[in-house]
Amino acid sequence: MTIITQRERLWIFAFDGTIVPAADRAKARLRQPIRQLLEELADNPRNLVALLSSRPLEDLAPRVPVPGIYLGGGCGAEWHTPDNGSMTLSGRPKERLMERREALLPLLADAAALPGIELEDHRWSVAITGGAASAKTRKDCADRLEELVGDGPATRFRRAALVEIPFIPEITMEFGVRAICRLLSFDGELICAGSEQGDAAALSWIIRQGGKAINIGRRPLVAESLAVADVRALNRTVRSIAGLAPAIPTRPHCQRLEAGRTAAAQPLDAPQTGCSIRR
């Protein structure tokens, strides 16, 4: 893998709820204006671009057919790089993952066995959605989950119809943001966009590094974050910061899956976890 450090800006975007609508996770795809934005950012040699998601890479990658960007699955526990390299956490974190999955996954599946509730196994986490369930059923499910995980990971990621529970609590959006910065040895300007309470710690960390934070929503998630109404407003804001011209509507591109996502073999230190990322 070739790491380029002479860049002025690193753009980091959360996926679900930030650059794609959160409503229908199964059909989540980049819409043309956002895809065009990512392509323009990645085409500029002064930029590096990364996307972060709790989804595993094999789920995320087909939804983001944009060359030249870093894709972080499992909130940064696994990465696909622009030169088709792959990296994943190894060592003790991987062992902890397997232990936690074995202990928790059957219990979470039982808790989610309610009408209209669906469980998505993201490997490093579990997403439980209830968009098709009644309000009472969602509350019953939430109560069951509270008994299992208490006030920790579930409440940090809770939305009206979604609970995301990481098997390793420290593997969060903030972890992924720190990981990509360390991986790239980046010391330029950081700009990060998120949308959920689970993104707040990452946005705060970006601001402490002197960077810019943007969030989808009516109010700032954290102090000094810029709140924008929706994905279209995010597009306009990013274009303004980047000095890009307003988006010009074009014919949709065909979706394609980049091939050759293979693993190499050099370990890289992961930020503040006492573990390593293995290429």
Q: Are residues 153 and 186 in the same domain?
A: no
Q: Report the alpha-carbon distance of residue 180 to residue 207 in Å, rounded.
A: 16
The pTM for the full model equals: 0.82
Name the helix (H) or strand (E) containing 278. strand 276-278
Q: Are residues 248 and 147 in the same domain?
A: no
Q: Are residues 111 and 76 in the same domain?
A: no
Q: Are residues 23 and 121 in the same domain?
A: no
Which pLDDT tens digit goes with each residue over 113-159? 999 999 999 999 998 888 788 888 988 888 888 888 875 544 444 44
Domain encompassing residue 224: 9-89+171-278
User: What count of Cα atoms within 13 Å lies in the side-chain half-sphere of residue 74?
Assistant: 25
From 166, 192, 224, the end of a domain falls on 166
| Mean pLDDT estimate for the chain | 84
Percent of the chain with pLDDT over 70: 82
Name the helix (H) or strand (E) containing 35. helix 32-43
pLDDT bracket for residue 163 (50, 70, 90): confident
Q: Is residue 59 left, alpha or beta, with left meaning phi > 0 and alpha meaning psi from -120 to 50?
A: alpha
Average pLDDT over residues 75-99: 93
Q: Are residues 134 and 153 in the same domain?
A: yes
Which pLDDT tens digit goes with each residue over 203-239? 999 999 999 999 999 999 999 999 999 999 999 999 9
pLDDT bracket for residue 86 (50, 70, 90): very high
Q: Are residues 245 and 140 in the same domain?
A: no
